[in-house]
Amino acid sequence: MINDIAQSVSSLVTNILENTNTLVREVRRDSMHVARESEALYRGASEQVAGLRSTVRATPRFAKIVREGIRIVASYRIHRAKAGLLTPEAAAVELEQLHATNAKRLHDLCVDLRGGVLKLGQFLSCRMDLLPDAYVKELSALQDRVPAIDTAQITAVIEEELGRPIDELFAEFDQEALAAASLAQVHRARLPSGEAVAVKVQVPGIEQIIEIDLAAMRVLGNIFRELVPRVDMATISTELARSIREELDYELEAANATAFAENFAKRDDIIVPAIIGDYSSKRVLTMELVDGVRMTDYLDEANQEDTNELFSQLISSYCQEVLEHGLLHADPHPGNFLVAEGPRLVILDFGSVQRYTPEERKAYAELAGALLAGNAEKIAELLQKVGFRTATGDSAEIVEFAEMMLDAFRADAAFDFASLDPKKELEKALELARKNPVVSVPNEFVMLGRVFGAISGLLLHYKPQVNMFALISPALAAALSAT
């Protein structure tokens, strides 16, 4: 295994050096610099791989992930070495082309391998602040359906888990998948009692695949740090690994779904499908089938009033989850929400859930209070209190960033997202991050950041007119009164 990877990496580096020498033949010093860069990359990757000798055996999947990751990083190192030979304009054009090529390469790898690689791609697609536009555009396609696997494999898992033939378990079972994702597939069915249900089934062999993917990500984490130096890669990798492993435990997901249903039992505008326990197991989850349309499909056709109403439901539900319930739905991509008649928000998929202690909820309640009060210095102080650290240790840039966001939390009027210039605001935020990057992020904030990123993207796209103060303040008051 190790020899195969070493040979693959060696071949890759050899090809890189040959291509580079062709491109910069007349500039010996620069081509030698590229050689040293590539050799160092190869040596570092080989050391990382050697440390995983007992974790992954001879698997082409592991080798392919590492090989593609090294190829991407190496291409940027070579571009950096060549850039001095080009005009700034030509270097910028070449860099954009490189972004597009590598983004397509990463997208194709995610679709081809699925599993943990696809989950990583979905996570990255929500992070406009971290990646060039080409990556966001390519990886955003991963939020939609992925190709379904053969239904015979799915029914085999159901029969093994539930102990009976499929035609004895269900009066009807649709052969065509209702939805397909990186770790699971969902089929419509009908129980002998006549109740319509959705059956979520784990992709066969996904547990082993995930462990291989996570091992490969650990290897690549250190290598990719140079591409996104302002990101706390270790924390993000740890939280992503924890989240993915939890998503494989459907008994835990069933318990999560039941807890969410209890938490929102008093809200008529939020629907959580009921779990059918007798038809569920560790790898099969059967739940009530709720009629509804995909949230983004609904919003694409909705009028302004219904758009405002649905976003009010979405935002207020997340405020309650963090500040009141201490149980966060941490996978908010559009496929996990439907819209039922009303409109009413239907929440699906409780495999990725973040729990908050009472102390953490109190800290976030204080942070929300500082936002509503417009106290930028207090916001910066609380961010540092919960574990945020900048490269310099200075909070001035955090204060400046907080001040830039405060208009969205005015108490005197409904905030109109149509008034935002998303590109301009994002550029300002990124400039602050570059001047004084956050180098440490608290573990529990990683998934919350994922949620913020995904919902912010929806807000900026659909531009609802909502009163943020009115949506946040009830949950804030409940949280503060409980502490």
Residues annotated as catalytic (active site), given as ranges:
331
CA distance 99 to 269: 42
Classified as helix, coil or strand, 190 is strand
Sequence-separated (6 or more) residues with CB below 8 Å from residue 157: 201, 202, 204, 283, 284
Task: Indicate the residue type of 203.
Answer: V
Q: Tell the residue number behind the tokens 């945020």, with chain if given.
A: 388
Sign of CA dihedral 368, 373, 375, 376: positive
CA distance 478 to 263: 14
Measured from the Cβ of residue 53, the count of other Cβ atoms closer than 10 Å reads 10
Measured from the Cβ of residue 201, the count of other Cβ atoms closer than 10 Å reads 24
Q: Tell the residue number behind the tokens 């180098």, with chain if given.
A: 439
User: With contact defined as beta carbons under 8 Å apart, do 439 and 390 qualify?
Assistant: yes
- Residue 173 pairs with which residues in a beta bridge? 189
Q: What does each C-alpha distance from 285 to 160, 247, 272, 463 come to in angstroms?
A: 13, 12, 14, 35
One-character DSSP codes across 39-89: HHHHHHHHHHHHTTTTT--S-HHHHHHHHHHHHHHHHHHHHHHHHTTS-HH
What are the structure tokens assigned to 339, written together? 């819209």
User: With contact defined as beta carbons under 8 Å apart, do 166 and 173 qualify?
Assistant: yes
Classified as helix, coil or strand, 341 is coil
Residue 57 C-beta-side C-alpha neighbours within 13 Å: 1
What are the structure tokens assigned to 36, written together? 């040293």
- Packing angle, helices 304-320 and 443-462, rounded to 10: 170
What are the structure tokens assigned to 107, written together? 């997208």
Measured from the Cβ of residue 483, the count of other Cβ atoms closer than 10 Å reads 11
User: With contact defined as beta carbons under 8 Å apart, do 122 and 333 qualify?
Assistant: yes
Q: What does each C-alpha distance from 184 to 118, 255, 283 come to in angstroms?
A: 12, 18, 9
